[in-house]
């Protein structure tokens, strides 16, 4: 162990703790109050699972959750396939402009993406807004994330591995199946999980592209908050948080292993 580790100033720790507190205390409050036996988010009264039970009987909420899951699974699947292809192409052909175009939606303001997709669906595609339009929209903004992760993984690899496969008798397709795909698999899984979490809690773009049809989870939560922040909202938020956190942890595990292995 290097000795400078012991000399880290206490001030650094204080700052770190404050930053983490700022990030996580609001989330912890939501979780705590989802178990609070009171209609108000004011003071702790007692422990209950009532609000979770209420959620199970809230038809509208269950429908919203189902819809959101369908959208997240479909969009993350499509984004993973297309994003992986984009990542491979960008790495392989050393293109200049295309990578920027593929990665731009990642940094683009969501409101802009939402408005432009809305116009595109209505005026160019003549599409009735609904599940399909949301899936397309979510796929659009997730592709860039998958492409970035896959490309980063490829950049860390020895190019001669792929040439070695060809040289030793593998066709381009066999090289992809036997060598490329297994090696970028962690990046693909991380990208898929990332897309899923982005999709399931997206509000802005969903809001613009959902039309008037089916209820969608984040929008549903927002609608409920219009009245008051009820413990039921806390409960559904807690569940959503749990799902996202689990997926993010799994995603970073894959991401870490990909950094450590190569």
Partner 1 sequence: MALLEIRNVTKRFGNFTAVDNIRIAIEAGEFFTLLGPSGCGKTTLLRMIAGFDAPDSGQILLDGEDIAGLPPEQRPFHTVFQSYALFPHMTVAGNIGFPLKMAGKTPAEIKTRVTETLAEVELTPFADRYPHELSGGQKQRVAFARGLINQPRLLLLDEPLGALDEKLRENMQRELINLQASAGVTFIYVTHAQNEALALSHRIAVMNRGRIVQIDEPSRIYNFPVNRFVADFIGKINLLSARVIEVSASHLKLTVTGLGEVIVPVNGDVKAGDQGVFAVRPEQVRIVAQSPATATETQLLGKIKDFLYIGDVTTYIIELTNGTLIEALLPNSVPGHAKLFDIGDSVVISWQEQSAQFLPD
Site string for partner 1, 106-145 (x = CB under 8 A): ----------------------------------------
Site residues (CB under 8 A) for partner 1, limited to 182-221: 182-183
251: closest CA among 210, 194, 203?
A: 194
234: closest CA among 36, 43, 67, 45?
A: 36
Binding-site size, partner 1 (CB under 8 A): 19
Does 158 engage in binding with partner 1 (CB under 8 A)?
yes
CB 166 to partner 1: min, Å: 4
Closer CB to partner 1, residue 66 or residue 177? 177
Site residues (CB under 8 A) for partner 1, limited to 167-186: 167-171, 174, 178-179, 182-183
Q: Segment near partner 1 (CB under 8 A), from 51-59, 87-95, 103-111, 153-161?
A: 153-161
CB 181 to partner 1: min, Å: 10
How many contiguous H segments (helices) and E segments (strands) does the chain have? 12, 0
> 47 - beta bridge partners?
36
- 36 SS3 class: strand
Closer CB to partner 1, residue 92 or residue 261? 261
> Hey, which bits of 118-216 come out as E strands?
none
For partner 1, the binding residue among 19, 27, 62, 161 (CB under 8 A) is: 161
Based on its alpha-carbon atoms, the radius of gyration of the chain, rounded to whole angstroms, reads 22
For partner 1, the binding residue among 15, 16, 28, 164 (CB under 8 A) is: 164
CB 176 to partner 1: min, Å: 13
Site residues (CB under 8 A) for partner 1, limited to 5-34: none
CB 159 to partner 1: min, Å: 9
DSSP annotation of 5 reads: G
Closer CB to partner 1, residue 153 or residue 210? 153
Give the integer Cα–Cα distance in Å for 245 and 222.
20
Does 257 engage in binding with partner 1 (CB under 8 A)?
no
User: What are the φ and ψ backbone dihedral angles of 47, each rounded to 5 degrees?
Assistant: -80, 140
Cβ partners under 8 Å of residue 56, min gap 6: 62
Tokens of 262: 């190569």
Closer CB to partner 1, residue 79 or residue 183? 183
242: closest CA among 92, 101, 52, 44?
A: 52
Give the integer Cα–Cα distance in Å for 60 and 19.
37
Please check whether residue 202 is in contact with residue 113, taking contact to mean a CB–CB distance below 8 angstroms: no
For partner 1, the binding residue among 39, 66, 177, 261 (CB under 8 A) is: 261
**Binding residues for partner 1, per CB under 8 A?**
158, 160-161, 163-171, 174, 178-179, 182-183, 261-262
């Amino acid at each position: 162990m290097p000795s400078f580790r012991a000399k880290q100033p206490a001030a650094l720790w204080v700052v770190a703790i404050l930053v983490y507190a700022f990030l996580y205390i609001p989330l912890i409050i939501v979780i705590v109050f989802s178990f609070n036996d009171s209609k108000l988010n004011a003071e702790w009264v007692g422990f209950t699972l009532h609000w979770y039970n209420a959620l199970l009987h809230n038809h509208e909420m269950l429908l919203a959750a189902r819809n959101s899951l369908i959208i997240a699974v479909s969009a993350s699947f499509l984004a993973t396939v297309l994003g992986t292809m984009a990542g491979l192409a960008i790495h392989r052909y050393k293109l200049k402009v295309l990578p920027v175009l593929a990665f731009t939606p990642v940094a683009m303001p969501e409101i802009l993406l939402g408005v432009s997709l809305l116009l595109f669906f209505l005026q160019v595609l003549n599409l009735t807004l609904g599940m399909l339009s949301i899936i397309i929209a979510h796929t659009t903004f997730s592709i860039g994330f998958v492409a970035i992760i896959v490309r980063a993984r490829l950049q860390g690899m020895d190019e001669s591995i792929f040439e070695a496969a060809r040289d030793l008798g593998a066709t381009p397709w066999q090289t992809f199946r036997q060598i490329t795909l297994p090696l970028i698999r962690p990046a693909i899984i991380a990208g898929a999980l990332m897309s899923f979490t982005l999709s399931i809690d997206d509000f802005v773009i969903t809001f613009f592209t959902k039309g008037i049809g089916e209820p969608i989870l984040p929008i549903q939560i927002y609608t409920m908050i219009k009245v008051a922040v009820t413990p039921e909202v806390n409960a559904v938020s807690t569940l959503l948080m749990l799902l996202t956190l689990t997926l993010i942890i799994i995603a970073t595990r894959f991401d870490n292993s990909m950094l450590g292995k190569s």
